[in-house]
Amino acid sequence: MKKYLGILLATALVMGLTACGGTGSTAAPSTEIQVFIAASLSTVMEEVAAKYNEQHPNVKITYNADSSGTLLTQIEEGYACDVFFSAAQKQMNTLEEDDKLVVEGTRSNVVNNQVCVITLKDSGTKVTGLKDIGNASSIALADGSVPAGKYTRQAMVNAGMLKEVDDVSKITTQEVSEQLGGVEISEQSNVSKVLAAVTEGSCEVGTTYFSDTYGFEDKVEILEKVPYDLTGNVIYPIAQIVNDEKQRQYLRSIISILM
């Protein structure tokens, strides 16, 4: 994760300076950019914004972090959004293909994240990873509409833990519990809440993204990084959202941070 963050920060500084022209010493009008990000990116992106603002204090970056599905709904309902950073392709596809709200030529695939099984350090859990997660006393799990919840369900299907279905996002939390032997599952609306449930000790284990564990190394133990052959690639796309009132030069610079 530190290497991953370092790449983001270095790119932010180089591409941000280039897009805004020169070293940042030239005066520029202040502007605010609304960036909608998957909840799993909250900690990392706050650091990116801080580094970017060291060189560009005139640009205020405001983050709205939640599940990609919730963010999609908000954009469709007309919430002010300039840049969308999704945890899955599905939500971006909807905005681009169905809603026609993605600015042409700005979409880019940026990150391949990874689903992890986590627990609180020194929890004493007997769980070693996904395949024996049903041995936990309780599990924090994002619902199927959340990309992390969908990827977890897909991994469980591919591992033979859940029955095969046409759309794994439709597998309910109750069905997961039943097929894992009746284990208690606390359904969460995004991965940040999964992380909180584990770090606060209300759930023994949970499934979240590797990026979520950044900054929590002293609290969280990663029991397993779930292989991509079970989850599939966990690709995060980013794109500029149609919003004619904003200054395009700054939007292009923010997009460039993660391209």
- Candidates 111, 110, 103, 154; CA nearest to 130 is 154
Return the percentage of the chain with pLDDT > 70, whole number: 83
Predicted confidence band at 233 (pLDDT cuts at 50, 70, 90)? very high
The pTM for the full model equals: 0.74
Q: What is the pLDDT of residue 158?
A: 98
Q: Does the pLDDT of residue 153 top 80, yes or no?
A: yes
Query: What's the rounded Cα separation, in Å, for the pair 97 and 38?
Result: 20
Which residue ranges form the domains of the chain, and what is each CATH number?
Answer: 2-17+31-112+235-257 (3.40.190.10), 115-225 (3.40.190.10)
Taking only the tens place, the pLDDT of each residue in 65-88 is: 999 999 999 999 989 898 899 988
Query: What's the rounded Cα separation, in Å, for the pair 242 and 222?
Result: 39
Q: What is the pLDDT of residue 212?
A: 87
Mean pLDDT of the chain: 84
Give the mean model confidence (pLDDT) for residues 178-198: 96
Q: Does the pLDDT of residue 163 top 60, yes or no?
A: yes
Q: Does the pLDDT of residue 249 top 90, yes or no?
A: no
Taking only the tens place, the pLDDT of each residue in 198-228 is: 999 999 999 999 988 988 999 999 999 999 9
**CA dihedral for 98, 101, 106, 111, sign (positive or negative):** negative
170: how many CB neighbours lie within 10 A of its CB? 12
Q: Are 221 and 123 in contact (CB under 8 A)?
A: yes
Give the mean model confidence (pLDDT) for residues 110-129: 94
Q: Does the pLDDT of residue 18 top 50, yes or no?
A: no
- Which whole-number Å values give the CA distances from 40 to 158, 182, 216, in the listed order? 23, 28, 13
Q: Does the pLDDT of residue 128 top 50, yes or no?
A: yes
Q: Which residue has the higher pLDDT, 85 or 127?
A: 127
Query: What's the rounded Cα separation, in Å, for the pair 58 and 21?
Result: 14
